[in-house]
Chain A
Amino acid sequence: MRARKAIWINGVRTSLGINRGWGPKTPPILLFIAVMAPAVVISIMAVAAGNLEGLPSHDTYYEIISTLLVIFSAIIAPELLCSDRRDGVINLYLVRPLSPTDYVIGRWLAFLSVTLALAYLGQIVLFTGFVLAAEEPANYLRDNWLNVPRFLLAGLVVAIFTTTIPLTVSAFTTRRAYAAAFVIGLFIISVPVAGILTLCEEGRQLPIEPCRPPTGESAKWFALISLPDVPIHVNDLIFPEENSSEFAQLVAKLPSIIPITWYLLLTIGPGFVLWRRYSSISI
């Protein structure tokens, strides 16, 4: 257990660049600022306005930061796996009383912890801001306490997704830049591809002309292609508020089990590949 904890601690330190130069420290610091800024701004606006009308809520916050978390994961995840293999440091772990599975799970948990902490921190700030902004904070707490388990669960959904895919990609190369570019490219490309296949043709703004996507009725399926939105579709099932984005509107037409299954496929699948890649590792 102590050995597994050591891998986890080392992974957290590596992710955050602790005890290292400014190079490895900069991405997590920038991400912390980027993730906290919307939460702080929304909270200040709520407190200043004295009400929550028209302000983004907990579900919208995850929509805002999920892309940031993907970029962060794409940059940091390779640091956890690629460098160990390239520099041969993985020997340090493989010749200790640990299995390769212990190593890869330790790395995954470390990265998940960091991502989760960042996701929750913003939500806590947001929730605190909303409580302070409410006319009757006690009433707000009584009426909205369910938002806490909701954002905890939704944060886990986002963090698992943004942790697993970049780590899996990193398991296939020793070059950090390749892994980061591949993950960012994959996520960026998936959005316009989904858009081309699902967005309505010209004239859809006219009330008399209904939306006619090029893929017709199948558009709701093609909307699932947009990778950054995959955890958001699951979160839309967790939060009661309706998501007004076009992909979300399309996916909402599908049975709830479909976005959940798609999410599980895109996390368990790469997770299995990651595990297989390391379980049979040879130096």
Chain B
Amino acid sequence: MAPPIDVRSVSKWFGNVVAVNDVSLQVNSGITGLLGPNGAGKTTLLHMIAGLTRPSEGEVALLGEPVKDNPQLYHRIGFMSEHEAVYGFLTGREFVELAARLYGLEPLSLPVDRAIKLVGLTDVQNRTLSTYSRGMRQRMRLASTLVHDPEVLLLDEPLNGTDPRQRIEFQNLMRKLASEGRTILISSHILEEVELLAGSILLIVGGKLAASGDFRAIRAKLDERPYKVRIVCSDSRAMAAALVRLEAVDSVSLDAEGAVEMITRNLSDLQRSVPRLAQEQHIRLLRVEPLDESLESVFSYLVER
């Protein structure tokens, strides 16, 4: 049986710029995170999967059917774009009703009520979308994506603009939908966001598929990654000498400003050891900061591996 999402050797280039480079992947039911830094090609890939953009090379099949030029397939899939594409003058309910009409649903009230209830916006459904907060608009857009009860959900940065409470509600909703056997592909550039939600991930860097599979296995690789930490303290030389003796520390040096720079593979051990060492050596800690915590550096590490 064909996987719900099947991407075969897909590439996309815009002039001389290669946005997606020979990506092949399969997504099965459950929640999968499409991760990557900004500009990695996630949205282009998602657009190709959704049939909005034609691949320069390769093929995409959803639910065993080619997605491009196959509008009837949209009866079975739901796509939510990253950008806030709404008619601000419509009420939330009218917006979901418009989506329901575009899916050819009849009667409207039942699926529209259900979708709005799913995203928890029943109370405000008759307010115009222009009066909604960004998070509320995102949720109403999600309702319009869910109104026809799709088998496959493609969501591009769905948590943009949502507050922590809404994120928890969204995660619960996604888990509920996934438990009903749906295939959900969620793109995000925030690692922690996907970690809480997705069992497996697809990691896109520079238009290429850098890693894929179980999130915990990839996370384990991340935990092995060396971290660079900078310490500003009252006596850098004494601190460096003390740190060298720690098993968790790979290397220690002093930078141009006299601060200690070290590389460690065991961040949690270091977090416990540094205050203890400072106390023992009577050193005053002024600042402890990671030097390469950005998501890009995490992705780069995985790509290099």
The residues of A that contact B89 with a CB separation of less than 8 Å are: 19-21
Evaluate contact between A88 and B52: CB separation under 8 angstroms. no
Q: Considering the chains assembled together, what is the distance between the CA atoms of A282 and B56 in angstroms? A: 12
- Give chain A nearest CB distance to B141 CB in angstroms: 9
Give chain A residues whose Cβ lies under 8 Å from the Cβ of B74.
Answer: 95-98
A95→B50 contact, CB < 8 A = yes
Contact indicator per residue, chain A 91-103, by CB within 8 Å of chain B (1) or not (0): 1111111110010
Collect the chain A residues with CB atoms within 8 Å of residue B47's CB: 282-283
Question: Counting CB contacts under 8 A, is A174 at the interface?
Answer: no
Report A264-283 CB contacts with B as 1/0, cut-off 8 Å. Answer: 00000000000000000011
Asked whether any CB of chain B lies closer than 8 Å to the CB of A10, the reply is: yes
CB of A245, distance to nearest CB on chain B (Å): 42
Least CB distance from A45 to B in Å reads: 41
CB closest residue in chain A, given B69:
A99
* B104 is an interface residue with CB less than 8 A from chain A: yes
- A254 lies within 8 A of chain B by Cβ: no
CA separation between A143 and B102, bound complex, in Å? 48
**In A137-176, which residues have CB < 8 Å from any B CB?**
none
A6 touches B53 (CB 8 A): no
Whether, in the assembled complex, B90 has its beta carbon less than 8 Å from a beta carbon of chain A, the answer is yes
Cβ < 8 Å to B, chain A residues 67-109: 87-99, 102
Asked if B75 and A97 sit within 8 Å, CB to CB, the answer is yes
Complex contact B81–A91 (CB within 8 A) = yes
Q: Is the CB of B53 within 8 A of A282?
A: yes
Are A10 and B86 in contact, CB atoms less than 8 angstroms apart? Answer: no
Classify chain B's interface size. Answer: 20 to 34
A92 touches B85 (CB 8 A): yes
**Contact partners of B69 in chain A: CB under 8 A:** 99
| B54, B73, B99, B101 interface centre (most CB from chain A within 10 Å) | B101
- The contact string, 1 if C-beta is below 8 Å from chain B, for chain A 9-28, is 11000000001110000000
Task: Give B89's nearest chain A residue, CB to CB.
Answer: A20
Q: Is B13 an interface residue (CB 8 A)?
A: no
Q: In the complex, how many angstroms separate the beta carbon of B45 from the nearest chain A beta carbon? A: 13
A5 at the interface (CB under 8 A from B): yes
Question: Which chain B residue shows the least CB distance to A83?
Answer: B87
List chain B residues, Cβ under 8 A from A20. 89
Residues of A within 8 A of B53 (CB): 282-283
A92 and B99 contacting across the interface, CB-CB below 8 Å:
yes
> In the complex, A97→B77 CA distance in Å?
10
A215 → B minimal CB distance (Å)? 45
- Find B104's partner among A2, A21, A87, A283 (CB 8 Å cutoff): A2
Using CB atoms, name the residue of chain B closest to A280. Answer: B54
User: By the criterion CB–CB under 8 Å, are B106 and A96 in contact?
Assistant: no
- Most chain-B Cβ atoms within 10 A of its Cβ — which of A1, A9, A20, A102? A20
CB-defined interface of B43-83 with A at 8 Å, one 1/0 digit per residue? 00001001111100000000000000101111101110101
8 Å CB contact of A91 from B71, B72, B73, B85: B85
Q: Is the CB of A92 within 8 A of B101?
A: no
1/0 per residue, CB under 8 A from A, across B96-136: the answer is 00110111111000000000000000000000000000000
Q: Which of A5, A95, A283 has the most CB of B within 10 A?
A: A95
Minimum CB distance partner of A90 in chain B: B85
List the B side residues contacting A19 at CB < 8 Å: 89-90, 94
With A19-B89, A97-B72 as contacts: A3 and B52 at CB distance below 8 Å: no
Whether B102 contacts A92 by the Cβ 8 Å rule is yes
A6's contact among B50, B83, B101, by CB below 8 Å, is which? B101
CA distance A83 to B71 in the complex (A): 23
Residue of B nearest to A93 (CB): B102
Interface flag for A7 (CB, 8 Å): yes
The chain B residue sitting closest to A10, CB to CB, is: B98
Residue of B53, B71, B94 with most partner-chain A CB within 10 A: B71
Closest residue to B91 on the A side, CB-wise? A19
Fill in one digit per residue for B236-278: 1 if any A CB lies within 8 Å of its CB, else 0. Answer: 0000000000000000000000000000000000000000000
Residues A88 and B102 in contact in the complex (CB < 8 Å), given A95-B50, A283-B52: no
Q: Which residue of B lies closest to A94 (CB)?
A: B52
Structural contact, B85 and A87, CB atoms closer than 8 A: yes
Contacting residues, chain B, for A102 (C-beta < 8 A): 71
Q: Which residue of B lies closest to A21 (CB)?
A: B89
Q: Across the interface, do A96 and B52 meet the contact criterion of CB distance under 8 Å?
A: no
A283 CA / B74 CA spacing, docked (Å): 16
CB neighbours of A3 from chain B (8 A): 101-104
For B77, the chain A residues whose CB sits under 8 A away are 95
Instruction: Point out the residues of chain B lying under 8 angstroms from A283, CB to CB.
Output: 47, 52-53, 81
9 cross-chain CB contacts under 8 A: A1-B104, A20-B89, A89-B85, A91-B79, A91-B83, A92-B144, A93-B102, A283-B47, A283-B52
Q: Which 7 A-B pairs have the closest CB atoms?
A: A6-B101, A96-B102, A88-B85, A95-B79, A283-B52, A2-B104, A88-B83
